[in-house]
A and B are shown apart, each in its own frame.
Chain A
Amino acid sequence: MRDVYFPDIAIIDNIRDETGDVRTFTMRFKDPAIQENLSYRSGQFFEVSIFGVGEMPISITSTPSRKDFFELSVKNVGLVSAALHSLPTGCEVGIRGPFGNGFPYKEVFDKDLLFVGGGIGLAPLRSLINNVLDNRKNFGRIAILYGARTPGDLVFKDEFKVWQNKPNVTMLVTVDRGDEKWSGNVGVVTTLFPKVRIEAESTVAFVCGPPVMIPFVIKDLLKLGFTDDTIITTLERHMKCGVGKCGHCCIGHKYVCMDGPVFSYREMKAMVE
């Protein structure tokens, strides 16, 4: 019987600063066989161990369509994330997973896709965006709307151009507060909605961001004609085990680590709590 609490060892191959407090870590499993057999869905997460400090759930930001490595974007906010941020390349961490349900993928073939991200919330969406773009012919029009508090808080800036230049992709970025160098949009992410063509009937919306952003985005999406089933979002909890046992992530009768972290708005509304 596989011990579900036993972490495998991964090595940090590269570290990229996204913002002042967000870093993207490129890793691979130390055992080549484990890396080779790794398969995951966009939207799933790993439990990342810094031995002696603890374990934290982190969504996978790389796309399963690109092999030989995986990437985790981590904001320095807690004990374990601070410990990870202190590690240089070449260091070893523990990895369990992938866990969670992940985003619908084949289920949204031939649909138009709308991605609405806020801050570090772009990390799980990036996995799906790159997965979709690597399999472009399976999907319709794509719009990516992304907001952050300040220009300095935007993550994956290098990739914005790459995404923009793909056929039939609209990419718009906004910040809550600009600075002297910022010439782009200013305002919350929902102010971008009127700037793109969205046909709600043929579109599925993927929403990821800080808890304060989600209700506003959902409200506007419903106004645009999206339904409870075509709004997909994710929930954050401190999932300590990742396997539906420790009890910390329960909302109503749902375990965010097993039933989620991806939920449709319909599922979220049905949570009794």
Chain B
Amino acid sequence: MSRYEENLWVITRDNLFALMDVFIKTREVIAPVRGHGGEVIFYPIESIDDVAWDWQYVNAVLPPKRFFLPQTEIMFEYSFDNGYRITPRYDDQVRMIFGIRPCDVNALIFLDRFFGGGSVSKKAPYEEPLFPDSHYIKRRANTFIIAFGCHQPGENCFCICCESGPFLEEDYDLQLTSMNGGYAVEVGSARGLKIIYGNEHFFRLASSNEVEELGRIKEDAVNKFRDTCAYMSKAIRRVTEGKVDNSLWEKLGERCLDCGGCSYVCPTCCCYNVVDTPLAEKSGIRTRTWDSCAFAGFTRIAGGEILRSDKTDRLKRRFFHKLSYQYIQKNKRHGCVGCGRCITTCLADINMPLVVESIRKQ
């Protein structure tokens, strides 16, 4: 156990509702919300009545990635008046993400390393990147994380194979686990502890029975995940060595629709395109937008040549990036957190467990 503070706290459901009311008044609170089609998405809430509570959903259909790397993000504005003036745009909004699942928190830790060299979260010190991404880092630093541990795996969950769930060991602010009609509250950071001490009347220290109870709940939950399995290590080795038979990528390439859905729903995918948009004759904006290595245009160079014009090459590229040891060495973990969203999303049935299993059987 590597909690920031060893004490375990308890909050009743009513007190949690009351505390949330306090939060909603003081910052933007992002929480799981039920959409019109019944699906659960992360969305800014105005009242606790909007929240889909943890017992009502397994995970949101989309990761909360867009609150750190928006689908379209303005990098700066430019204007011309006897010379160019560039005005950077930053998002300084103080946020709280409530109800985020451990897999998605692990994806954030992955992105922290990639964009900020780990300067945002403290897990596994990592070399400072040469070029930290100030836009991502600002958002991340301003976002408080209240995670919910998972009792019950969803039909496509395999976090247990990716060391990213069903509970967090570190790098959250607060982690809540449903228990006896209330919640066990683990403290993962200094600012998490500050929230507890700042609202102490809502919390009480857990009894030794409750500490034991939480241990049992976690063990039970882990056992429920035993059925889901993706044998990552063999896939990692074979991808690393370039020993996956090309026929696999060819077979998958034939059915890939290159829609990019896998990248958009993936909590660790973060490639982006850069686009200038004039808004008037002498002014405009530069934006970055989500991009996907599944798109043919991803590797287009000046003159029109497309370097990965074949879907086979693009799929191979995607899974090399997610699985190869070369990238594990760079990012300190493989690029999959086992959230299972690619399974849910891909119309052609191409997803991480399937690829891993196909490589194992080759």
A residues apposed to B, CB below 8 Å: 1-7, 9, 30, 49, 51-56, 77-81, 92, 94, 236-238, 240-241, 243-248, 250, 252-253, 258, 272-273
A5 and B278 contact, CB distance less than 8 A = no
A81 and B284 contact, CB distance less than 8 A = no
Number of B residues near A (Cβ < 8 Å) is 51
A-B pairs with beta carbons under 8 Å apart, 26 shown: A1-B134, A1-B137, A4-B132, A5-B88, A7-B86, A49-B276, A52-B78, A52-B276, A56-B302, A78-B302, A79-B302, A81-B302, A92-B83, A243-B131, A244-B130, A245-B115, A247-B270, A247-B272, A248-B271, A248-B273, A248-B291, A248-B298, A272-B241, A272-B242, A272-B324, A273-B316
A237 and B299 contact, CB distance less than 8 A = yes
Chain A residues with CB below 8 A from B326, complex form? 252-253, 272
How far apart are the CA atoms of A52 and B78 in the complex, in Å? 8
A245 and B131 contact, CB distance less than 8 A = yes
A247 and B274 contact, CB distance less than 8 A = no
Chain B residues with CB below 8 A from A236, complex form? 301
A253 and B324 contact, CB distance less than 8 A = yes
Chain A residues with CB below 8 A from B137, complex form? 1
Nearest residue (CB) in A for B326 is A253
Given A52-B284, A94-B86, 12 more contacts at CB 8 Å? A2-B134, A51-B78, A53-B276, A55-B274, A78-B301, A80-B302, A246-B272, A246-B291, A247-B293, A247-B298, A248-B271, A250-B317
- A226: shortest Cβ distance to chain B, in Å? 25
Chain B residues with CB below 8 A from A246, complex form? 271-274, 288, 291
- B279: shortest Cβ distance to chain A, in Å? 9
B300 and A238 contact, CB distance less than 8 A = yes
B residues apposed to A, CB below 8 Å: 75-76, 78, 80, 83-84, 86, 88, 114-115, 129-135, 137, 240-242, 270-278, 284, 286, 288, 291, 293, 298-303, 307, 313, 316-317, 320-321, 324, 326-327, 330
Nearest residue (CB) in B for A253 is B326
